[in-house]
């Protein structure tokens, strides 16, 4: 079975109703692509026994030889993915003593309820994947050239278990793919698509574009013997991309902008502070989402009103009256006042018009970002497109990126 063709089935009525965002399919597809497994279909199905069986049957009937499900392995009555999968293959569920031990260890009790004990049942003649971060093990069915893998729905559990899935599937394919990601910002997806049209048509390497809202990812992938071979095969292709759109590339790899900034701060033992207006604390929040952010994060101020800018950051009333709250002059005074107040080596200010309407006779999307690193101040003007939420997200992203780029190039 050297050509693996996969369908991902996400189980859960909450997905169909839009109550949660399905990030599992994206994660699984990217992980499978890195090992040469083609994903042909993404399916979502509610918590319905017969519809789950029908979805599995449809996947195999249209030529898939690998089906991966997520969700529906928990202790409640509507968690029925394992039961439906067992019914499809005609397997009986048997209590697995090793799973019972794992369950007691995770729950830190020997008193297991009947509901939780349900998760320790494994279909006969099937393997299970230990879940170190939850109570539901994964299940592997393998029958007549068909592979069905049940995985839990919580991303924290699924992501940690997926390395074991990759090891298992690796036995069935001799293909190897190598990928690199280039991250771009301050450019629209349509413009990148226009500049790289012929490269998107390339069969080897292949080029994919993924809009992340506040930035764009370009993914270069090539079939190869090993990572060293793949890296060399990609070099001329990547160089051509840099020739055309290199001015918009700010990093390579999968690290998010807050991780990149954190690394630069950490290596210099610098502290960072934020003074935010239109973003309302969004940039600070994004940064402190990082584990360990306290090593670099000092303090921040949300100065939404003019009075707050004057009273908390020492912005001159005359500057606001003359140039407006949304101006390069105000952004500069905000970041300088922030520096005086916090004594952080890196200070960032954001002031702008989030929208949807204009303000001070200035258009929605106009944003000024100030960055002070040690004794030097930088101010940059942006004109963002999109609704209020997108303008705020892009402003937060560009503020973090501006600080990162300055530190990177010190």
Quick one: 105 and 185 in the same domain? no
Percent of the chain past pLDDT 70, that is, above it, reads 100
Extended beta strands in 158-314, E state: 177-184, 206-211, 216-223, 249-252, 272-276, 297-302
pLDDT at residue 21, rounded to an integer: 82
Are the beta carbons of 319 and 333 closer than 8 angstroms? Answer: yes
End-to-end CA distance of the chain: 52
> What's the angle, vertex CA 249, arms to CA 247 and CA 252, rounded to 5?
150
Quick one: 56 and 100 in the same domain? yes
Quick one: 80 and 57 in the same domain? yes
- φ and ψ at 97, to 5 degrees? -65, -35
pLDDT at residue 246, rounded to an integer: 97
Q: Are strands 5-11 and 66-70 parallel, antiparallel or unpaired?
A: parallel
Domain containing 164 — which CATH number?
3.40.980.10
Extended beta strands in 229-271, E state: 249-252
Q: pLDDT tens across 4-44, in order?
A: 999 999 999 999 888 888 889 989 998 898 787 889 999 99
* DSSP structural state of residue 37: P
Percent of the chain past pLDDT 90, that is, above it, reads 82
Q: pLDDT tens across 188-224, in order?
A: 999 999 999 999 999 999 998 988 889 999 999 998 8
Q: Could you say which of 172, 204, 222 is where a domain stops?
A: 172
- Given a cut of 60, whether residue 62 has pLDDT beyond it is yes
Quick one: 199 and 308 in the same domain? no
Q: pLDDT tens across 293-338, in order?
A: 999 999 999 999 999 999 999 999 999 999 999 999 999 999 999 9
Domain that holds residue 130: 5-172
Domain containing 357 — which CATH number?
3.90.950.20
Quick one: 153 and 241 in the same domain? no
Which of 357, 352, 360 shows the shortest CA–CA distance to 277?
Answer: 352
Quick one: 125 and 182 in the same domain? no
Cα distance between residue 318 and residue 292, in whole Å: 40
Domain containing 187 — which CATH number?
3.30.70.2860
Quick one: 354 and 299 in the same domain? yes
Quick one: 235 and 270 in the same domain? no
pLDDT at residue 103, rounded to an integer: 87
Q: Could you say which of 148, 172, 196 is where a domain stops?
A: 172
Quick one: 377 and 262 in the same domain? yes
Q: What is the pLDDT of the chain when averaged over all its residues?
A: 94
Quick one: 365 and 402 in the same domain? yes
- Given a cut of 60, whether residue 94 has pLDDT beyond it is yes
Q: pLDDT tens across 125-149, in order?
A: 999 999 988 899 999 999 999 999 9
The two structure tokens encoding residue 130: 């230990």
- Given a cut of 90, whether residue 66 has pLDDT beyond it is yes
pLDDT at residue 173, rounded to an integer: 82
pLDDT at residue 1, rounded to an integer: 54
- Given a cut of 80, whether residue 255 has pLDDT beyond it is yes
Quick one: 136 and 187 in the same domain? no
- Given a cut of 90, whether residue 248 has pLDDT beyond it is yes
Helical residues (DSSP H) of 246-367, grouped into ranges: 257-268, 282-288, 306-313, 317-323, 328-342
Quick one: 30 and 136 in the same domain? yes
**Residues contacting 176, CB < 8 A, separation 6+:** 35, 36, 223, 224, 225, 226, 230
Q: Could you say which of 252, 268, 283 is where a domain stops?
A: 252
pLDDT at residue 19, rounded to an integer: 87
**Domain tally, the chain:** 3
- Given a cut of 70, whether residue 233 has pLDDT beyond it is yes
Q: Are strands 146-151 and 66-70 parallel, antiparallel or unpaired?
A: parallel
């Amino acid at each position: 079975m050297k050509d693996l063709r996969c369908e991902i089935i996400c189980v859960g009525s909450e997905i169909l109703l839009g109550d949660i965002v399905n990030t599992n399919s994206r994660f699984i597809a990217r992980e499978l692509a890195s090992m040469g497994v083609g994903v042909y279909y993404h399916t979502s199905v509610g918590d319905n026994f017969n519809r789950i069986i029908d979805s599995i049957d449809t996947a195999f009937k249209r030529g898939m030889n690998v089906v991966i499900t997520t969700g529906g392995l928990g202790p409640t009555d509507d968690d029925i993915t394992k039961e439906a999968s067992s019914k499809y293959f005609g397997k009986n569920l048997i209590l697995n003593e090793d799973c019972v031990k794992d369950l007691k260890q995770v729950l830190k009790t020997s008193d297991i309820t009947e509901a939780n004990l349900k998760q320790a049942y494994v279909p006969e003649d099937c393997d299970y994947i230990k879940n170190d971060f939850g109570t539901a093990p994964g299940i592997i069915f393998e029958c007549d050239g068909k592979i069905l893998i049940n995985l839990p729905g919580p991303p924290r559990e699924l992501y940690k278990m997926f390395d074991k899935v990759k090891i298992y599937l690796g036995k069935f394919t001799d293909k190897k793919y190598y990928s690199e990601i280039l991250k771009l910002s301050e450019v629209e997806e349509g413009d990148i698509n226009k500049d790289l049209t012929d490269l998107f048509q390339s069969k080897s390497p292949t080029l994919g574009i993924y809009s992340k809202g506040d930035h764009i990812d370009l993914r270069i992938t090539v079939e190869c013997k090993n990572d060293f071979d793949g890296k060399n095969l990609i070099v001329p292709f990547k160089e051509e991309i840099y020739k055309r759109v290199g001015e918009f590339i700010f990093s390579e790899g999968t690290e998010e902008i807050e991780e990149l900034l954190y690394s630069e701060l950490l290596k210099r033992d610098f502290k960072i502070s934020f003074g935010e207006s239109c973003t309302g604390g969004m940039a600070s929040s994004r940064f402190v989402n990082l584990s360990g952010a306290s090593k670099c994060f000092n303090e921040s101020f949300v100065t939404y009103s003019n009075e707050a800018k004057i009273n908390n950051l020492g912005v001159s009333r005359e500057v606001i009256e003359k140039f407006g709250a949304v101006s390069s002059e105000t952004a500069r005074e905000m970041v300088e006042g922030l520096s005086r107040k916090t004594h952080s080596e890196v200070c960032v200010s954001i002031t702008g018009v989030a929208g949807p309407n204009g303000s001070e006779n200035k258009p929605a999307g106009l944003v000024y970002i100030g960055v002070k690193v040690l004794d030097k101040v930088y101010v940059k003007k942006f004109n963002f497109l999109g609704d209020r939420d997108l303008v705020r997200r892009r402003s937060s992203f560009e503020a973090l990126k501006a600080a990162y780029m300055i530190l990177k190039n010190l």
